[in-house]
């Protein structure tokens, strides 16, 4: 295995110390989920190689710890204060105390972050080290707030002030339509009609822009909706059916494929914060 190591090293201050005494396989900390965005802060437990349809920015909280990401069939490992993982990239995190931001490809922040990173990163690798300046900003925004929604609002404000790129018109309309429908299980026919294009053209455009089929994206949305419901219903079979999975094993397999974990490993997460919808402060085209 090739190790890529960098000098910037951070550590995570222990919180909820009674939870951190549990076996390392369990995930402990807090989770926040909203339309197109998510946030995890705490102890990363066991996870298998997986790929999901959101860009991921993982960073350590304080000096003394590294984020460790293994990728390319276990052949490479990046260790740094912060790491960017592009959507649809197979990877897994080594257990440790991290913070991770997740941004759906259809969310306007995805374009914002990618545009920002272009000014700092020359590599074409889907997994790259975050610039220290961005790690500092993320720590400032996300670690000083009681609710993750306030952190994302600060990030939006920061991006707007720096004249970052926004989505093209079609991507913007798609994002707004998904927001209005609260990311419901919309069909290709429904969205194509809204965008005033044929179903085949929409399917081609979606795959070309986001690197996955819309069918795969719908499964991703169902998984997120199911995770949001876990704290309200301990019966995973019931939750899986409500989110249109054929059964609980189907839901568990999908969770493992996209997050590298079985849902049972989240049972020590005290609660999942439900974030309200964020709307981009779009500028004129």
pLDDT category of residue 163 using cuts at 50, 70 and 90: low
Q: Which residue has the tokens 């997050």?
A: 259
- Per-residue pLDDT of 89-129, as tens digits, reads 999 999 988 999 999 988 888 887 877 777 776 667 889 99
Mean of the per-residue pLDDT values of the chain: 79
| Euclidean distance between CA atoms 242 and 198, whole angstroms | 30
| HSE toward the beta carbon, residue 207, CA cutoff 13 A | 9
Range with the poorest average pLDDT among 18-27, 216-225, 253-262: 18-27
C-alpha span between 177 and 183 (Å, rounded):
8
Q: Is 23 within 8 Å of 17 (Cβ atoms)?
A: no
Residue 249 confidence (pLDDT) = 86
- Selected residue with higher pLDDT from 183 and 205: 205
Q: Which residue has the higher pLDDT, 224 or 38?
A: 38
Q: Answer for the pair 7, 81: CB distance below 8 angstroms, yes or no.
A: no
End-to-end CA distance of the chain: 46
Buried b / exposed e over 66-99, threshold 16 CB at 10 Å, is bbbbbbbeeebbbbbbbbbbbbbbbbbbeebbbb
Q: What size, in residues, is the chain?
A: 285
Q: Strand 28-34 relative to strand 272-274: parallel, antiparallel, unpaired?
A: parallel
**Which domains does the chain possess?**
2-161 (2.60.120.10), 169-259 (1.10.10.60)
């Amino acid at each position: 295995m090739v190790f890529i190591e960098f000098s910037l090293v951070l550590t995570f201050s222990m919180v909820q110390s009674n939870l951190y005494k549990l076996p390392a396989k369990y995930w402990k900390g807090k989770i926040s989920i909203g339309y197109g965005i998510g946030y995890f802060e705490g102890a990363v437990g066991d996870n298998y190689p997986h790929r999901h349809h959101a860009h991921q920015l993982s960073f350590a909280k304080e000096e003394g710890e590294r984020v460790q990401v293994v990728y390319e069939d276990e052949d490479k490992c990046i260790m740094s204060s912060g790491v960017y993982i592009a959507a649809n990239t197979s990877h897994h995190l080594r257990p440790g105390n991290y913070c991770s931001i997740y941004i759906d490809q259809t969310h306007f922040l995805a374009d914002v972050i990618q545009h920002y990173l272009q000014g700092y990163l020359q590599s074409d690798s889907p997994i790259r080290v975050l610039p220290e300046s961005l790690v500092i900003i993320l720590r400032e925004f996300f670690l000083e707030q009681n609710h993750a929604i306030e952190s994302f609002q600060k990030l939006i404000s920061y991006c707007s002030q720096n004249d970052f790129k926004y989505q093209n018109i079609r991507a913007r309309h798609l994002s707004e339509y998904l927001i209005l429908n609260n990311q419901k299980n919309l069909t290709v026919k429904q969205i194509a009609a809204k965008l005033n294009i044929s179903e085949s053209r929409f399917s081609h455009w979606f795959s070309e822009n986001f690197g996955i089929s819309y069918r795969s994206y719908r499964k991703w949305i169902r998984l997120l909706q199911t995770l949001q419901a876990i704290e309200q219903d301990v019966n995973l079979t019931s939750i899986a059916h409500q989110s249109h999975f054929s059964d609980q094993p189907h839901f568990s397999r999908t969770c493992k494929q996209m997050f590298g974990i079985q849902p049972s490993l989240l049972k020590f997460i005290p609660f999942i914060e439900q974030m309200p919808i964020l709307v981009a402060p779009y500028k004129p085209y």
